[in-house]
Amino acid sequence: MYLSSLQIRNFRNIKETQLQFNTGVNIILGQNGQGKTNLLEAIYFLGIARSFRTSCDSALISRDMDGFFLSGIVVQQHIQDKIDVLLEDTKKVRINNKFLPRIIDLIGHFQVIIFFPEDLHLVKGTPDIRRRFLDILLSQSNPQYLHYLQRYNKIHKHCNEMLWQLKTGQQVITMSELDVWDIQRQETGNQLIRARKEAIEVLNDLAAGIHHQIATSPTLMEDGGSSEILKISYKPSMFNKEKRVDEIRKGHTLNGPHLDDMVFQINEIDARRFSSQGQQRTASISLRLAELEYLYQQTKELPVLLLDDICSELDDVRREYLMKAINRGGQIFITTTSLDTIKELMDGARVFTVRNGLIYS
C-alpha cells in the first residue's frame, strides 16, 4: 500500500501544494519550524481522520482560513482509491468522490503507523495513551473492532448517565433498568477484551524479539549493557458486579475496557516506573515495530510508515537498528533536519525540502 500523490490546501502552514511521492522512501528535509511535521500530519489525517498531535481538528486549519482540504491517491495491489478529507463546518470524507456516511468508515482504507518522539509515553505515560494505541491498531486491522468500540462507548455513556442520576437522586431508577445497560456493556465489552487480549499476546511475542535484538547488539553489550527481556502484558479492567454499590456512590462506572491498561516489564521490573529513559525508548520503538509486523500479518499489506524526527532522540545503535527494521520495501515518510542521520535510507530515496510551508521536490 502506498500514497502516490497528495494535494493539500490550507492545512497548518501549508497553503496549497500538490505532491507526487516515491513508492519507497520519501525524505522530508528542513530546518525546525518549517512545516515538515505538518506534512506527516496531513498524511496521517488521510488515514485516521484525526491528528497525532492534537484532538482539536480546527487547530489544523491555516490561520484566517475557513477550512482545509486533503486529497490523496492511495494504491493497493494496483487499485487506486482517491481519498478526500475536508474540514469546513464539519469533517467530511469522500472515497472515490462518494461521501462516507460516517467519518469512522475511513479507517482501514489507508493504513498508517506513526513513529514520533512522544512514543516514549506509550511506556511512560498514562493508560489512555496505551488504550488509544490499541484502539487505532485494532480498528485498522479489524473493522468489527471499531463497531464494538463505538457501541461500547455509547452504552458506557448511557450507563454513566444512569449512575449519575442515581447518585444525585434526580430520578428514581430501578436496578433492572441499570441491569439492562450493564448486560449490554459486558457483552460488547467482552468483545473488546477478547480482541485486545489476542492482539497483545501477538504484540508481546513480536516486541520481545525486537527489543532483545536492539538491547543485545554488540555495541551496547560492550558498553556494559546487559541482556534485556521485554514483556508486554494485558491488564484488563474486569467486570465485577460487586462494584455496583461503589459505582452508584461515585456516579460513574468503575470497571470495563475503557479502564484497561498494558503493562511493560523489562527483566520483570515495571518499566513505566523503574526503567531508564533509554530502556523505555527501546521498548516504545519495539512496540511500534511490533505494530508494523502485526498489521502486516493481519492485512498482508505493509502499512505506510511516518517517522517524525525520530533520529534526534536515538543513539547510533538504536538508530541503525530502526533504519534497518523499517526498510522493508514499504512506503516511508521520514522527517529530518540533516541527511547524515538517515544515510541508510538514502538509496533510491526522494527528497522533499520544506521551507516556510512550501515544499520543493
Smallest gap from residue 157 Cβ to another protein (A): 6
Tell me which of 39, 155, 200, 311 binds another protein, using CB under 8 A: 155
Residue placing its CB nearer to another protein in the complex, 55 or 171: 171
Of 70-78, 156-164, 196-204, 290-298, the window that binds another protein (rule: CB under 8 A) is 156-164
Binding mask 121-150 toward another protein (x if CB under 8 A, else -) reads ----------------------xx--x---
Nearest C-alpha neighbor of 215 from the set 165, 283, 152, 262: 283
- Asked if 30 and 72 touch (Cβ cutoff 8 Å), the reply is no
- Asked if 45 and 68 touch (Cβ cutoff 8 Å), the reply is no
Q: Strand 261-266 relative to strand 230-235: parallel, antiparallel, unpaired? A: antiparallel
Instruction: Identify residue 141 by its one-letter amino acid code.
Output: S
Alpha-helix residue ranges (DSSP H) falling in 49-77: none
Distance CA 130, CA 137 (A): 11
Cell of residue 196, nine digits: 485486545
Other CB atoms within a 10 A radius of the CB of residue 221 amount to 13
Residues 6+ apart with CB under 8 A from 43: 3, 6, 72, 112, 304, 306, 333
Residue placing its CB nearer to another protein in the complex, 55 or 90: 90
Residues that contact another protein, how many (by CB under 8 A)? 21
Residue placing its CB nearer to another protein in the complex, 15 or 157: 157
Smallest gap from residue 86 Cβ to another protein (A): 17
Binding mask 157-186 toward another protein (x if CB under 8 A, else -) reads xxx-xx--x-----x-x--xx-xxx-xx--
Tell me which of 9, 109, 121, 151 binds another protein, using CB under 8 A: 151
Contact residues for another protein (CB under 8 A)?
143-144, 147, 151, 154-155, 157-159, 161-162, 165, 171, 173, 176-177, 179-181, 183-184
